[in-house]
């Protein structure tokens, strides 16, 4: 994605999704915007739960929305938090993301303007994928 305008749209979608984050326990609000390879954008936010393990991260919320809409290949995800440093996806989200797009580019930004870019293959160098299952 070389188009700066597309990146700006992704950032805006992630910022808007973060506004809807449900984080009454951690107060750590996260927004995500996942870009399908055709350019369609799927937002996500973290949704916590009083039964703490039932909560879901913003990235997985975005993946679930995209898959429900029929999308399975993605090029970028933007993550927004108000942390001091850009936040990488957690281990569970890395695993869920690699199921669909091992070459995903992850752009993490803070509300203060810091930015870090990773490739998913850098964050999860030896992934367990569908090809790891012996019957496939």
Of 93, 98, 109, 120, the one binding Zn ion (CB under 5 A) is: 93
Considering only residues 18 to 47 of the shown chain, the ones binding Zn ion according to CB under 5 A are none
Which member of 59, 84, 105, 115 is catalytic?
Answer: 59
105 is catalytic: no
* C-beta of residue 47 within 8 angstroms of C-beta of residue 55: yes
Please report how close the Cβ of residue 136 comes to Zn ion at its closest, in angstroms.
25
Of 22, 28, 90, 102, the one binding Zn ion (CB under 5 A) is: 90
Query: x/- contact string, 50-89, with Zn ion (CB under 5 A)?
Result: -------x--------------------------------
CA-derived radius of gyration, the chain:
14
H helices within 20-89, ranges in order? 58-68
* C-beta of residue 94 within 8 angstroms of C-beta of residue 57: no
Residue showing the smallest CB distance to Zn ion in the complex: 57
- Tokens for 87? 């936040």
Please report how close the Cβ of residue 93 comes to Zn ion at its closest, in angstroms.
3
Nearer to Zn ion, 8 or 49 (CB): 49
- Tokens for 78? 């933007």
11/4 Cα distance (integer angstroms) = 10
Strand order from edge to edge, sheet including 105-110: 41-45, 31-36, 74-81, 105-110, 115-119
Q: Which residues are catalytic?
A: 59
Chain positions contacting Zn ion, by CB under 5 A:
57, 90, 93
């Amino acid at each position: 994605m070389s188009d700066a305008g597309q990146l700006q749209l992704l950032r805006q979608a992630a910022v808007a999704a973060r506004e809807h984050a449900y984080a009454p326990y951690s107060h750590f609000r996260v927004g995500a915007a996942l870009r399908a390879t055709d350019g369609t954008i799927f937002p996500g936010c973290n949704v916590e739960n009083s039964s703490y393990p039932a909560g879901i991260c913003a990235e997985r919320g975005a993946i679930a929305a995209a898959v429900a809409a029929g999308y399975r290949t993605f090029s970028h995800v933007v993550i927004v938090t108000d942390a001091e440093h850009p936040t990488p996806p957690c281990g569970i989200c890395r695993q869920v993301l690699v199921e669909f797009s091992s070459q995903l580019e992850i752009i993490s930004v803070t509300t203060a303007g810091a930015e870090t870019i990773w490739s998913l293959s850098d964050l999860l160098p030896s992934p367990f994928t569908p090809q790891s299952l012996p019957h496939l």
